[in-house]
Amino acid sequence: MEYVLHILTMVCIYAGLAMSLNLTVGFAGQPNVGHAAFFCVGAYTSAILTVGCGASPPLGMACAVLLGSVTGALASAPALRLKGDYLALATFGTGVIIHALAKNWVAMTRGPMGIPGIPSVSFGNVTLSYPSAFCAVAVAYAAVTYTLCHLVVSSPFGLALRAIREDETVAKSTGISSSAHKILVFALSGALAGLAGALFAHHITFIDPSTFTPMDSLVLLLITVFGGMGSLAGSCLAALVLIGFPEILRYLGLPVIVVGPLRQMAYGLLLVMLMLWRPQGLLGKYRWSWCT
């Protein structure tokens, strides 16, 4: 039962990550390929504050949200001048830089040794050390993320994001400040991803740079595209399929050295099939069109 709760917790965390990425990718049309950077910043911020500075987990998570938002706003700088493939490469570079800092800034992050002993989430004298309690927190995070993203995309701000996605020049001609909207949506996306990173750190209780490689950004992008760009429900469904379903491979009796590559092959096959038969994703409203 604990294993099932762990998988459900991870599904909720990745669903929140995918929904936050969908704000920039699906609704604003900005090809963000460095989303794992915000995830990494949130995880390390909360881990360093709680383990190294003795801060409480709620304070660590609050700082993770703040620093994730600031990192997202800074990462939006290329989006103000670049589009399409060039913006995708620039955001991917952001992920590479953050991963390099986590790996080489040993004095702060302990580098490849990682940070062990991260405490579980606690509120006052109540510590959520039981898997069921932490799973409830993860479900609440996913629900709050869905609600917040839904409110954002249903607001005039969300309509402006859609206008920028469809035709930025026309959007500017109607008085929409594309620069301000891009900075804000990247900041919001980074804040939600930072909170996901903090929850991940407190759930696993150990983090190291190998968890936040630039390739993880591609996995998050795969979840978003698989579920459908512009669909929050699709992001949740895709997280359930792509994070939960591969765990079945563990029960096939295959060697551990085979399970990992087999999972990656399954991800690639699913993406190819999706692009051929349903380019807009499972529940998506938009096609993959950045490179066209």
Chain segment 207-232, per-residue pLDDT in tens:
999 888 888 888 888 888 888 888 89
Sequence-ordered list of residues with C-beta below 8 angstroms from that of 197, at least 6 positions apart, any chain: 38, 39, 40, 41, 42, 43, 44, 45, 46, 64, 68
Residue 262: band (very low, low, confident or very high) from pLDDT cuts 50, 70, 90: confident
The boundaries of the domain holding residue 153 are 2-214
Residue 60 lies in a domain: yes
Quick: pLDDT tens for 42-81: 999 999 999 988 888 889 999 999 999 999 999 888 878 8
For residue 229, what are the contacts with CB-CB under 8 A and spacing of at least 6?
Answer: 22, 25, 26, 280, 281, 284, 285, 286, 287, 288
Q: What is the mean pLDDT of the chain?
A: 86
Which pLDDT value is given to residue 291?
A: 40
Query: What's the pLDDT score for residue 289?
Result: 54
pLDDT digits (tens, 9 = 90+) for 119-128: 888 776 666 7
Question: Is 280 among the domain residues?
Answer: no
Beta bridge partners of 123: 126
What ranges make up the beta strands (E) of the chain? Answer: 122-123, 126-127
The reply to whether 75 falls in a domain is yes
100 assigned to some structural domain: yes
What's the confidence (pLDDT) of residue 292? 40
Q: Per mean pLDDT, which range of 108-112, 130-134, 163-167, 239-243 is the poorest?
A: 130-134
How many domains is the chain built from?
1
Residue pair 148/159 in contact by the 8 Å Cβ criterion: no
Contact between residue 105 and residue 234 where contact means Cβ atoms under 8 Å apart: no
User: Quick check: is 170 in a domain?
Assistant: yes
- Asked if the structure places residue 274 within a domain, the reply is no
The verdict on pTM exceeding 0.75 is yes
- Domain assignment of residue 268, yes or no: no
Instruction: Give the tens place of pLDDT for each residue, 81-123.
Output: 878 778 888 888 888 999 999 999 988 988 889 899 898 887 7
Report if residue 239 sits inside a domain.
no
**Residue 281 — very low, low, confident or very high, per pLDDT cuts 50/70/90?**
confident
